[in-house]
Amino acid sequence: MLNIAVLVSGGGTNLGALIDAQREGRLGGGRIRCVISSRPGAYALTRAKNAGIPAEVADRRAFDSGEAFDKALKALLKQYETDIIVLAGFMSILGDELVGEYKNRIINVHPSLIPAFCGKGFYGLRVHEAALDSGVKLSGATVHFVNEVPDGGAIILQKAVEVKDGDTPESLQKRIMEQAEWRILPEAVALFCEGKIKIENGKAIIIK
């Protein structure tokens, strides 16, 4: 059984999808061992406590450097014997040292079809605003490994979602969460925990 640490910053809707998957036996050989929030008031902490999952806070604003923040995160990850880190709406950038220590063991969900609308500065509603401004007819979500480049790690799963006439950033965000993020994030975590993902030449290969 692999220990999963879920890192959050806000409402925790993707955390909710992971909790549902765990309750229904869809996380493979993994269990959510802890939830760590970078903000003390995040509703994701309430979701964790309601599900009986240990919840911790590493308040990014309380640290004077990224290195100090990473050190606090690392201590919590070690405390819970973390095997895989899942970034689920986590709004802080992890430092290279921490990313290197958990190489190919950190996954993130991004609300676009990478390489579109990703990288530094693309997060939250900004992603959907960019998609609508571009006039694309399809957007979606991507689950990928985290490396030193924002949204630059190997892609594990993607799912396309239709962009509809009259969409707002909020309506597109909601549809992508419901039709893509909440589905492929638990699936990717399960694949990892079942040992069904391998990295070859910088690409994530799913073992059938």
Which of 27, 31, 25 is CA-nearest to residue 4?
A: 31
In the block, which residue shows the tokens 């594990």? 156
Quick check: 156 and 107 in contact, CB under 8 A?
A: yes
Q: Distance (Å, rounded) from C-alpha 113 to C-alpha 111? A: 7
Cα distance between residue 51 and residue 95, in whole Å:
30
pLDDT of residue 208 exceeding 90: no
Alpha-carbon distance of 28 to 92, in angstroms, equals 28
- Contact between 108 and 146 under an 8 Å Cβ cutoff? The reply is yes
Residues 6+ apart with CB under 8 A from 182: 13, 14, 16, 17
**Is the confidence at residue 187, as pLDDT, over 90?**
yes
User: What are the pLDDT digits (tens) for 84-94?
Assistant: 999 999 998 89
Percent of the chain's residues with pLDDT above 90: 95
| 196/43 Cα distance (integer angstroms) | 32
Beta bridge partners of 31: 3
- For every residue of 122-135, which 3-state class applies, written as one string? CCCHHHHHHHHHHC
**Where does the pLDDT of residue 105 fall: very low under 50, low under 70, confident under 90, or very high at 90 and above?**
very high
As a whole-number percent, the residues of the chain with pLDDT over 70 amount to 100
1: pLDDT strictly greater than 90: yes
In order of start, what are the domains of the chain with their CATH numbers? 2-206 (3.40.50.170)
Q: What is the pLDDT of residues 18-38, one digit of tens each?
A: 999 999 999 989 999 999 999
Active site residues: 110
What mean pLDDT comes out for the span 170-187? 98
Mean pLDDT of 75-86: 98
